[in-house]
Amino acid sequence: MTVAEQARDKRELAGWLRAEGRQVRRAIAGVVGLSMVASVAQVVALFLLATIAQRWVIDSQPASPALLVGLGTALLLQLLFQRLREWQRSRLADGVQAHYQQALLKQLEARSLALIRDYSVPTWQSFLTRRVGALQLYFCDYVPQTLVAVLVPLLVLVVVFPFSWLVALTLLVTAPLVPLFMWLVGMGAAVAHREHFLAIERLASLFLDRLRARQLLQVFNRVEAERAFFSDASADLKRRTMKVVSLAFLSSSVLDFFATLSIALVAVFVGFSLLGEIGFGHWSSGLNLRDGLFMLLLAPMFFSELRLLGRHYHSKAEAQGAADALQPVLDLPPLDITARALPLSLPKLSVMAPGGGEILAVPALTLQRGEHVLLSGPSGSGKTSLLEALLGLRPMHSDGELHCLDRREVAWLDQSPPVLPGSIADNLSLAKPLPEAQMRAALREVGLDEWLAQQPDGLQTAMGDYPPLSGGQRQRLAIARLVLQEAQIVFLDEPTAHLAPAQREAISQLLQRQLADRTVIWIAHGQSPSQFFTRQWQIIDGRLHDQPGSTEVGNAH
């Protein structure tokens, strides 16, 4: 990506973040307002403290009860409003996290498998934790601080100017240097954070893939090679992490340097003015201890919010890196497709990708109740995307009215069906109350009765993270679950892929027997003539061809 493209992407992401911030601007205003009230109370407390020092050191008089009560009240008010600010920030953080997690879950509910398959498991974990967390810090810390870092210095300048125009001018001149160097340091921070996010997600995906294939790695003696690879990848991730950390450290160090320099200039001016060496820069004939101490105490306050903004500045870059992947998911348009029962009639349409490109051209189709359809085509031709479109999970473009199948009426079985870590009964019932005898009968029909008898706790045996099932047994368990759910429409997405020939033949015959009275769309390769299928859909060069025919999947994979 060129520098110009990076700058354009950065502007677009910044604009998206600003637009998203409008949803929580009232809560942000609450955080800013409470911060300003606490700052006003702090100014009052500092003035009273300087007054007490003047009376004690110069006038040799004890502080009056009114001054002490006022100082205590101002400090208590400052502490109170700081606590209220933290409470408001916590509410804002909870609201931001809940909003984006619900937005992601809403998209998942609308698009289900079609969206899940576009991203790896570690990426989804990053979406719901790290990336949403980055947006949370942006809206809760950085955005309010950008306002506070302007308002508090203005408050200090307004208070200081009646005492000394030179101190006010010194603060005013040095203040722009802080955001200037923040901008210079942060120019490459967004790109660094974006690359850091991608590196973590890719390494997590790779680790999960190797973990699933751990047995194959042992068989082919690749354990040591993979360990060395992960060692190198880990070292590269550490270098990326240190790059991000060094950028944050550099930004903070630059801010501290200029803030310290400015405060030192104010201290020199106040000190020499009190000694009578400087006779200009203030409105009266000279400074007294109260005025000089008050301005000296206000100088750190002037820069404290700017320095805090510098510490939060990396949150902006991190949020832009997080938004780079979140924005395409969160901004997906709603799918306005009406669900209906069989028979289903579709006009000529195009199955579209989320980005707008055409995946598959489909002629006018009808799907009748009880039909058995074989769907075939090269890998990557859009077979699974077609099934997702039939469920209303992918966008479709057509000149006619679009309908889809009711998801509640459809069961889906693919080549790697999930096994829940709960009990065998949990895997079969899917939270639907089922008699134990019915579950045992379903397992017996798919040939898992002997396997069940070997389990220590019967149907209550927990599957755990590593279920005691071979590939064929996993498919049989999924078929038993499918039969028990009684869905009238079944999608089979290459359910016999990666199985041995004997298992493949047995599973195919079992599926044909169990699903004889259901409506079936079966994705398969290597078909041969049979009476099971009533129709065949074949994808050739990005187009679906509908033709009658009888084929079987005895050797399908």
pLDDT (average), residues 405-410: 86
How much is the mean pLDDT over the chain? 81
Task: For residue 81, name the pLDDT band (cuts at 50, 70, 90).
Answer: very high
CB 85 within 8 A of CB 34: yes
Could you tell me which residue, 491 or 190, shows the higher pLDDT?
A: 491
20-38 pLDDT per residue, tens: 888 899 999 999 999 999 9
The 3-state DSSP class for residue 444 equals helix
288-299 pLDDT per residue, tens: 888 888 888 888
311-357 pLDDT per residue, tens: 777 777 778 777 888 888 888 888 778 888 888 888 888 888 876 78
User: What's the confidence (pLDDT) of residue 195?
Assistant: 65
Residue 557 has pLDDT above 50, yes or no: no
Dist. CA 347–CA 403, nearest whole Å: 9
Dist. CA 197–CA 132, nearest whole Å: 12
Continuous segment of H or E residues that includes residue 360: strand 358-362
**DSSP symbol at 198:** H
User: What's the confidence (pLDDT) of residue 249?
Assistant: 63
User: What's the confidence (pLDDT) of residue 40?
Assistant: 95
User: What's the confidence (pLDDT) of residue 90?
Assistant: 93
CB 347 within 8 A of CB 398: yes
Query: 147-156, 221-230, 275-284 — which one is most confidently predicted on average?
Result: 147-156
Pairing of the two strands 551-552 and 358-362: unpaired
User: What's the confidence (pLDDT) of residue 555?
Assistant: 47
Which value, in Å, is the radius of gyration of the alpha carbons in the chain? 34
Dist. CA 10–CA 13, nearest whole Å: 5
Closest CA to 46 of 306, 298, 300: 298
User: What's the confidence (pLDDT) of residue 556?
Assistant: 45
CB 351 within 8 A of CB 390: no
User: What's the confidence (pLDDT) of residue 255?
Assistant: 67
CB 412 within 8 A of CB 493: yes
Residue 358 has pLDDT above 70, yes or no: yes
Dist. CA 524–CA 391, nearest whole Å: 19
User: What's the confidence (pLDDT) of residue 72?
Assistant: 93
168-193 pLDDT per residue, tens: 888 887 776 655 555 555 544 555 65
Residue 253 has pLDDT above 60, yes or no: yes
Dist. CA 11–CA 34, nearest whole Å: 30
CB 510 within 8 A of CB 483: no
Both tokens assigned to 553: 């999947």
- Whole-model pTM? 0.70
Could you tell me which residue, 227 or 528, shows the higher pLDDT?
A: 227
108-133 pLDDT per residue, tens: 888 877 788 777 777 787 788 888 88
| Residues whose CB falls within 8 Å of the CB of residue 130, separated by 6 or more in sequence, listed in order | 197, 200, 322
Least confident of 175-184, 271-280, 364-373: 175-184
Residue 200 has pLDDT above 50, yes or no: yes
Both tokens assigned to 547: 């033709």
User: What's the confidence (pLDDT) of residue 196?
Assistant: 63
CB 303 within 8 A of CB 259: yes
423-437 pLDDT per residue, tens: 889 888 887 888 999
User: What's the confidence (pLDDT) of residue 340?
Assistant: 82
Residue 15 has pLDDT above 80, yes or no: yes
Residue 75 has pLDDT above 90, yes or no: yes
Helices 165-174 and 289-330, packing angle to 10 deg? 20
